[in-house]
Amino acid sequence: MAKFAVIKEHIYQKIESGEWPEYHPVSSENELSAEFNVSRMTARRALQELSDEGLVTRTRGSGTFVAPLKSQSALLTIRNIADEIKMRNHKHHAVVRSLQSVPALPHIAAALQLDPEGHVFHSVITHFENGQAVQVEERFVNPLLVPNYLEQDFTEHTPHEYLCEVTPLTEASHLIEAVMPTKQTAKWLDMHEVEPCLQIQRRTWCRDGVVSQATLTHPGSRFRLGGHMTFKSTQRSSRGAAKGSTTGDEQ
């Protein structure tokens, strides 16, 4: 492996394992060049590419630091409903409808890459924006990777926030559909059963496997999923490759 790649891997491991939390200082170019016995330019390349990938932030004169996970989320276009609501200066609260261990149905076990015999953790939470229901979040969680899931208070922090903390996400896959709500979902969302819903199914991975599978259901009338992308490419290298905002309120 190339030397710069060795250094990248070393730093990546520190971040991914949680040994270096957000904003933790990363060794300077000079330190790395001494530590790995390479030139400063080589150490620099490692840091530069990590910066391009959004894993660290660099400021001249100050140093290199582990980037807040939030910016990773931006890359992944992973959405946290609570953050979005707060970003609009609205009030968020959540009601936990269910939180327990359930037998793994075959398709759930398959989605989580688990033994079909076992159990999985299951939560159903309704999210409110200014007192109005905007999302029903049904989630199946891998108990091997997140053993303490059931003991969390999800009125304080969303499952997404908790999962991001305990298992740094590395991958996500989304499936977006328009569906009619089930009777139960319509009731939770306080909406008519004939109104369409925007439903996002999301699976997230960490290094060790599938973390969770979530189904996020929004009333069509109260929710839009927005995104903006650009490749100006005239400014900074790859940082500008794909900058995605997530929430509507455009134009």
**From the list DNA, a copy of itself, none, which binds 42 (C-beta under 5 to 8 Å, kind-based)?**
DNA
The reply to whether 171 sits near a copy of itself by the rule CB under 8 A is: yes
Burial of 98 (0-12, 13-18, 19+ CB in 10 A): exposed
Give the residue, chosen from 34, 102, 105, 180, that forms a contact with a copy of itself under the rule CB under 8 A.
180
The reply to whether 50 sits near a copy of itself by the rule CB under 8 A is: yes
- Take residue 68 and report the two structure tokens written for it: 């807040």
The reply to whether 72 sits near a copy of itself by the rule CB under 8 A is: yes
The reply to whether 197 sits near a copy of itself by the rule CB under 8 A is: yes
The reply to whether 37 sits near DNA by the rule CB under 7 A is: yes
Sequence-separated (6 or more) residues with CB below 8 Å from residue 205: 169, 170, 171, 172, 211
Give the residue, chosen from 17, 18, 19, 40, that forms a contact with DNA under the rule CB under 7 A.
40
The reply to whether 50 sits near DNA by the rule CB under 7 A is: no
CB of 6 to a copy of itself, least distance (A): 11
Classify 146 as helix, strand or coil. coil
Give the residue, chosen from 13, 39, 130, 132, that forms a contact with DNA under the rule CB under 7 A.
39
Calculate the CA 214 to chain-centre distance: 12
Assess contact for 97 and 185: CB atoms under 8 A: no
Distance CA 246, CA 112 (A): 26
Give the residue, chosen from 54, 68, 97, 108, that forms a contact with a copy of itself under the rule CB under 8 A.
54
Tell me, by CB under 8 A, how many residues bind a copy of itself: 57
Residue 34, phi then psi, degrees to nearest 5: -75, -45
Instruction: Please give the single-letter amino acid code of residue 32.
Output: L
Give the residue, chosen from 17, 130, 155, 173, that forms a contact with a copy of itself under the rule CB under 8 A.
173
Tell me, by CB under 7 A, how many residues bind DNA: 27
Sequence-separated (6 or more) residues with CB below 8 Å from residue 89: none
The reply to whether 63 sits near DNA by the rule CB under 7 A is: yes
**From the list a copy of itself, DNA, none, which binds 26 (C-beta under 5 to 8 Å, kind-based)?**
DNA
Burial of 73 (0-12, 13-18, 19+ CB in 10 A): buried
Sequence-separated (6 or more) residues with CB below 8 Å from residue 51: 57, 58, 64, 239
Q: Which stretch binds a copy of itself (CB under 8 A): 57-65, 87-95, 146-154, 227-235?
A: 227-235
Residues at the contact surface with a copy of itself, assessed by CB under 8 A: 5, 8-9, 12, 49-50, 52-55, 72, 75-77, 110-111, 170-180, 194-199, 203, 218, 220, 223-234, 237-238, 240-242, 244, 248, 250-251
